[in-house]
Structure 1
Amino acid sequence: MPAAPLSILHVVRQFLPNRGGLEDFVANLAREQARLGHRVRVLTLDRLFSAPEMRLPARETLEGIDIERIPFFGSHRYPVAPSVFRHLGDADLVHVHAIDFFFDAFALARPIHRRPMVATTHGGFFHTNAHSRLKKLWFDGPTRMSVRAYEAIVACSDSDARLFQAIAPGTITVIQNGVDLDKFAGAAAPEPRRALLTIGRFARNKRLDRLLATMQALNAEGPDWRLRIVGVPSDITAAALTAEIDRMGLSGAVTLHTGLDAPAVRALIGQSSLFVSASEYEGFGIALIEALSAGLVPVAHPNDAFAWLKERHPLITLADFADADAAAGAIRGAYDRLARGEVTRGEDLSDYRWSGVAARYIAVYKAALAEAGHGVAATAA
């Protein structure tokens, strides 16, 4: 238990009730820090990008987390929320998640609010190649300037660390993402099934189009394979995805599942044997670690994050989903090994437990407070 609890303000553009990797990360970290005795709040936007017409309550407690929400204008790519500084309250430290308006605004206003700050990169804004030249200019300009205002920049993967070392050499700390290993533990179907599952936002970088093409290739020899797509709409709507499934003649083989809670997702995992992802970019790959904890056998596209995880977890098969036939072959191979009893499930995932991740973040906070001259307000639990 901390000797003197910190008052921590997490700032993130989207949060509960929205679901996704970023939202789950902040929720789990906030819960674990509260369990350790710290005072924790989450500040976020008052509308979900997936349902912009609905305004959420200004204050709410969800899953035991105190949430404050503020209005914004502009694009969901860079939502502007000028009232953010009215909500600092008694925060000893501000933890900004991702590289967006909040990251830049807190840096620019540092001389005024004078709060110690930590930021976690979460992949920056390079999830797709869209507007790549503009992104590079922004990264080398405003982002490079904003980084200097933070006591600590935490990368959640080695690939993120390499990216940010270019603008903040020697100052990046790597803390792997925490994962709730109990949520889906051992949930996979006990017997091998030709049933695939993918979890994530319906976003262009996830390349669900390539997953659908792979399903066509899998079922070319007979309609035995099933794919369940679990997630929330992002820059691809559920209606658009459903239309594409129908157009490709996959309505009997592919099902879409949106807005599910954890027990409902666990039930779908129980009907599946393999996890698949064609994602071109991941900040870390939480869904893949959750799949391993469930006992699913992953087949994933070799982006930087998944390639890094493959080095640590041999059960993962990497396949280029740009080649549907090759990806289908990799999936068949993984299934055949499972059916022959050649796959040993139960990887050691202890490094991802939230208790250890939260303790590492508290250590970063202590160093940030000391660097800012605020003293050390707490000891790591």
Structure 2
Amino acid sequence: MPVTSANPTSDRSAPLAVQVVRQYLPNRGGLEEVVANLAGQLLRQGYRVRVVTLDRRFTALDETLPSKEIINGVEVVRIPFSGSTRYPVAPQVFRHIGDADIVHVHAIDFFFDALAWAQLFHGRPMIATTHGGFFHTEKYAGLKTIWFNTATRLSALAYRRLIGCSAQDTRTFQAIAGSRVVQIDNGVDTRKFADSGSRQAVRHMVTLGRFSVNKRLDNLLDATRALVSRSGHWHLDIVGVPGDQSVADVERMIAERHLGDHVAMHIGLSNEEIRGVLGKCSLFASASDYEGFGLVAVEALSAALMPLLNTNTAYSDLASKHPEIRLSDFADSDATAMAIETAFDALAADTAGYRNAAMRTADGYSWDHVAERYLAVYREVLGARAPAAAMTVTSEAG
């Protein structure tokens, strides 16, 4: 859920920060969460905030959302689009940035390219956050690489700063934008699931997120089957919403592995309901092939769960900094089952100590710390136009 803002600024002289993002609330996901939290922080620091986003959720294309709405003090403008959800074309974005003091584009898509190519005409100062670029799967890898090194490289010239939201993204984008790339690891709402995991070590895992091919739920279920063959006490909760895989797709994968007694699905839960699920779990598992940052792993740490993660680049970067995270190659289900059992034994040996360490690690990614780095970039771009209030960052509400 978004950060609430009890006192959004009504000062029309305050600088307007326009956030441009393809999907936003009420859609739920990592990208939406980051933009909502950043918007809340900007409001409290004296900015006016407008989010320009698409008028349909990719998971419910037959439903058109309201064209204008106020969500927690943030003006939300939704515009129509055509074409693929992978590169939705939405030229009406130009109608809603003319009065912006700064335009902040989130992710690398039509908005990133179109606003860059038209920068000479609209003249708005722009920054962008990468959010993993468009390398979430290996599909069309060759074409993506060519596009990145040509069109994306050209578009990047229009941005004052590119913010890499992970070490992986920073390395990737420095290759085309050099010193204009600054790393700001994604902020995480560490209060949302804080301290919600089981206080006793239990053979109970959870995974969170949109049902997408790159999340490799098939490999996670294979590892679960291998665990169950070792001990019938293992259980997995799958918490999420449909993406490019449907609920029926996931149910079929569970049935094919005869895991109906050991795997439960939870669709579209509220944060409070998710806390209830986490309270029965000790471990978080993700077999994802690709992550832009690994936000959900930090959320798991905040809940005092032990993350068991696939060895993708983003997860490996996190694990290299935080020994509370365990890695395994989820393509090898037997080896992963053994790694999970070993991790569980370590957790059981000092559950209270691990829980405290995990929550301390997660706190370093809280918006209390991360928002100030974003605000510093805004001050750099806006100079004297930045609000005087934007000097300290308050805790996220709720």
Indicate the TM-score class for this superposition, using the shorter chain for normalisation: over 0.9
Aligned with 1:378: secondary structure?
coil
Q: Deviations over 1:128-177 (max 9, x none)?
A: 10000110111011100000001110001111111011111222101111
| Distance (Å, rounded) in 2 between the aligned partners of 1:194 and 1:308 | 26
Tell me the equivalent position of 2:200.
191
Aligned length: 377
User: How many angstroms apart in 1 are the aligned matches of 2:363 and 2:224?
Assistant: 33
Match of 2:96 in 1: 87
TM superposition shift of 1:63: 3.8
- In the TM superposition, residue 195 of structure 1 has moved relative to its aligned partner by 0.7
| Paired residues of 1:104 and 1:146 also in contact (CA < 8 A) | yes
1:53-80 deviations in Å (ceiling 9; x for gaps): 1111101123443211000011010000
Aligned to 1:344: 354
- Cα distance in 2 between the residues matched to 1:92 and 1:36: 15
- CA distance in 2: counterparts of 1:299 and 1:54, whole angstroms: 37
Contact 2:45–2:387 (8 Å) recurs in 1: no
Return the TM-score normalized by structure 2: 0.91
Q: Tell me how large the CA RMSD over aligned residues is.
A: 1.7
Match of 2:176 among 152, 164, 167: 167
Matched, 1:98 2:107: yes
Q: Does the aligned pair in 2 maintain the 1:119–1:150 contact within 8 Å? A: yes
Deviates more, 1:57-66 or 1:242-251: 57-66
Equivalent residues in 2 for 1:301-380, closer than 5 Å: 301-341=310-350, 344-347=354-357, 348=360, 349-370=362-383, 375-379=384-388, 380=390
Provide the rounded CA distance (Å) in 1 between the counterparts of 2:42 and 2:260: 44
Corresponding position of 2:42: 33
Following the alignment from structure 2 to structure 1, what is the Cα–Cα distance between the partners of residues 100 and 333? 50
Q: Could you say what secondary structure the match of 1:177 adopts?
A: coil
Q: Where does residue 204 of structure 1 map in the other structure?
A: 213
Q: Is the 8 A contact 1:25 1:177 kept in 2?
A: yes
The answer to whether the Cα contact below 8 Å between 1:293 and 1:346 also exists between their aligned partners in 2 is no
- The 8 Å contact of residues 160 and 180 in structure 2, kept in 1 or not, is answered as no
Instruction: Tell me the equivalent position of 1:178.
Output: 187
- How far has the Cα of 1:89 moved from its partner? 4.8
Residue aligned with 1:129, SS: coil
What one-letter code is carried by the residue in structure 2 that aligns with 1:95? Answer: H
Question: Percent identity at matched positions?
Answer: 50
1:57-68 matches, cutoff 5 A: 57-68=66-77
Q: TM-score normalized by structure 1? A: 0.95
**1-structure distance, mates of 2:45, 2:380:** 18
State the secondary structure of the residue aligned to 1:327: helix
Q: Is the contact made by 1:20 and 1:232 (CA closer than 8 Å) also made in structure 2? A: no
> Contact 1:292 / 1:346 at 8 angstroms: preserved in 2?
no
Residue 287 of structure 2: aligned partner: 278
TM-superposed deviation, 1:118: 0.5
For residue 313 of structure 1, report the CA deviation from its aligned partner: 1.4
Q: Which amino acid aligns with 1:329?
A: M
Task: Check whether the contact 1:195–1:272 (CA below 8 A) recurs between aligned residues.
Answer: yes
Rounded to whole Å, the distance in 2 between the matches of 1:340 and 1:364 is 44
Q: Which amino acid aligns with 1:144?
A: R
Partner residue of 1:245 out of 254, 260, 268: 254
- Indicate the residue corresponding to 1:299 in structure 2: 308
**Structure 2 match to 1:127:** 136
Q: Structure 1 CA distance, aligned partners of 2:15 and 2:336? A: 48
